[in-house]
Amino acid sequence: MGFRPFEVLKEKIRKEDLPPGPERPLCEEDPEEFFRKVNPLPREKEIFWAPGFRKPPRFEERAWPPQPLQVRVWQTSEYMEGRAPGVTRELLRRLREGRIAWSRVLDLHGLTVAEAEVVFHRFLRECLFRGDRCVLIIHGRGLSSPRGPVLKEKVRFWLERGPLRRHVLAYTTARPCDGGPGATYVLLSRRKWR
């Protein structure tokens, strides 16, 4: 036989030297022992349901899958919107909710302000010439920029005070699925630009 280092330990340890083991686990076979270990609650801590009060639903009764949290973009600090005189709030609301489909998109990411201005005005002229009603401008949120959302503020300025402002009926921050605070819906006038 080989070397057995733990054989010697058996002789050194006596049963009375060992700490007591865990109590016998309670099981369904011995209910009396189970109830002997139960302490009743004090009367002032009794829990009862008031008449007419509905119990909270069990897990199975809850809606599954859980509904996503509905965040309204226009309730955030990054939201922006504007409308020309004569444009109804209803039309602005429809634009905000994405119920007016956009037909073209312009992405200004990675452009300088000077480049973005040229591209922006060229894009709007093309859209007016084609008769596009609603467009999406992606400018980004400016989170990585030390000066904040520069392009976003410039887009707002060009929409409100730029040379094509009379053709802009309304603008609003896009819904999250279209870019959220990093994008803007722009509603253009119906008449084609010549």
- Work out how many domains the chain is built from and give that number: 1
- Examine residue 101 and state whether it is found in any structural domain, yes or no: yes
pLDDT tens-digit series, residues 67-90: 554 445 455 567 888 888 888 999
- Examine residue 5 and state whether it is found in any structural domain, yes or no: no
- CA 159 to CA 152: how far, in whole Å? 11
- Examine residue 82 and state whether it is found in any structural domain, yes or no: yes
170 and 81 in contact (C-beta within 8 Å)? yes
- Examine residue 27 and state whether it is found in any structural domain, yes or no: no
- Examine residue 103 and state whether it is found in any structural domain, yes or no: yes
Helix 150-161 and helix 113-130, axial crossing angle in degrees, nearest 10: 40
Nearest to 184 by CA among 141, 130, 147, 146: 141
- Examine residue 106 and state whether it is found in any structural domain, yes or no: yes
pTM: 0.60
Domain span holding position 177: 73-188
- Examine residue 176 and state whether it is found in any structural domain, yes or no: yes
Nearest to 82 by CA among 173, 163, 172: 172
Domain with residue 173: its CATH number is: 3.30.1370.110
**pLDDT by residue for the chain (194 residues), tens digit each?**
567 777 766 666 666 566 666 666 555 566 677 677 777 767 666 666 556 656 655 555 445 555 554 445 455 567 888 888 888 999 999 999 999 999 999 999 889 999 999 999 999 999 999 999 999 999 988 787 778 788 989 999 999 888 888 899 999 999 999 998 899 999 998 865 55
- Examine residue 48 and state whether it is found in any structural domain, yes or no: no
Q: Put the strands of the sheet holding 134-138 in their side by side order.
A: 81-83, 168-173, 183-188, 134-138, 104-107
